[in-house]
């Protein structure tokens, strides 16, 4: 029987090899209809068990401490891809997910800054996406994020609208963007829609960009437009793609 301990040992061994790879899901601007960014999503193809569920992989990585090495791997993959896009006249930003546990490493922000400078990435080319609103309540984390913001790294907060952080308490800076989960977008109607619209207004008043995730149908796209979101992401736009074979611009018909 496969145990989390088995997976932890296998993940630690795999983190530097081809079993671990990134796929990319684009974000489209609702103003221009063009791709403007892509989120790097970590995947693990286990040689014996096949594709490991991403949530299981991240949970194992966080419990075992492998999350630090895995996070650095995804940062490197994301910045490499962003450089390739830039060289092929596709000036998209790349978003890389960051677990709150990664900030426990005092060298985290320094490492991100060093990689960012080494790649000579343009301002706004990298988006650090926080996977928990707990991070923005921690003054140590905020200090690290502000230092990254000073060199042009943008900061995004996922789960906007469903966490414990009140809308009015979202810190700006260091945040530049918030993301509304697909679950909320897909179920938005009546009072829920009005509440989300208020949340989008609060974010815009704070100078933040708003992304609607999990957009799978034209109805969901209509909801994102009605909410006043700036960008959308989801299967309607494109499934995550390891080949990064996206058109230069434009949303799907």
**Quick check: pTM over 0.95?**
no
Domains observed in the chain: 27-38+68-233 (3.20.20.450)
pLDDT in tens, 116-149: 999 999 999 999 999 877 777 788 888 899 999 9
pLDDT tens digits, residue range 141-192?
Answer: 888 999 999 999 999 999 898 765 556 566 666 899 999 999 999 988 888 8
CA distances for 55 relative to 44, 51, 61, 62, angstroms: 11, 12, 10, 11
pLDDT of residue 15 exceeding 90: yes
Distance of alpha carbon 8 from alpha carbon 17, whole angstroms: 15
Beta bridge partners of 177: 156, 209
* Percent of the chain whose predicted confidence (pLDDT) is above 70: 90
- The DSSP secondary-structure symbol of 122 reads P
Beta strands in 110-165 (DSSP E): 126-130, 154-157
């Amino acid at each position: 029987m496969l145990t989390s301990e088995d997976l932890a040992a296998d993940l630690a061994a795999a983190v530097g090899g081809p079993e671990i790879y990134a796929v990319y899901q684009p974000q489209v601007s609702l103003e221009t209809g063009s791709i403007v960014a892509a989120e790097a999503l970590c995947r693990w193809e286990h040689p014996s068990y096949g594709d490991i569920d991403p949530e299981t992989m991240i949970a194992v990585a966080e419990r075992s401490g492998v999350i630090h090495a895995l996070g650095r791997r995804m940062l490197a993959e994301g910045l490499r891809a962003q450089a390739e896009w830039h060289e092929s006249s596709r000036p998209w930003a790349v978003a890389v997910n960051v677990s709150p546990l990664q900030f426990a490493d005092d060298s985290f922000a320094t490492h991100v800054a060093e990689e960012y400078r080494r790649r000579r990435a343009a301002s706004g080319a990298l988006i650090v996406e926080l996977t928990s609103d707990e991070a923005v309540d921690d003054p140590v984390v905020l200090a690290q994020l502000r230092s990254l913001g000073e060199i042009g790294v943008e900061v995004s907060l996922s789960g906007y609208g469903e966490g414990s952080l009140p809308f009015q308490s979202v810190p700006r800076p260091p945040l530049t963007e918030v993301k509304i989960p697909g679950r909320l977008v897909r179920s938005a109607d009546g009072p829920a829609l009005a509440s989300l619209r208020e949340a989008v207004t609060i974010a815009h008043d704070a100078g933040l960009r708003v992304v609607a995730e999990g957009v799978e149908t034209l109805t969901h796209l209509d909801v994102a437009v009605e909410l006043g979101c700036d960008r959308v992401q989801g299967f309607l736009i494109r499934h995550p793609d390891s080949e990064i074979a996206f058109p230069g611009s434009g949303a799907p018909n």
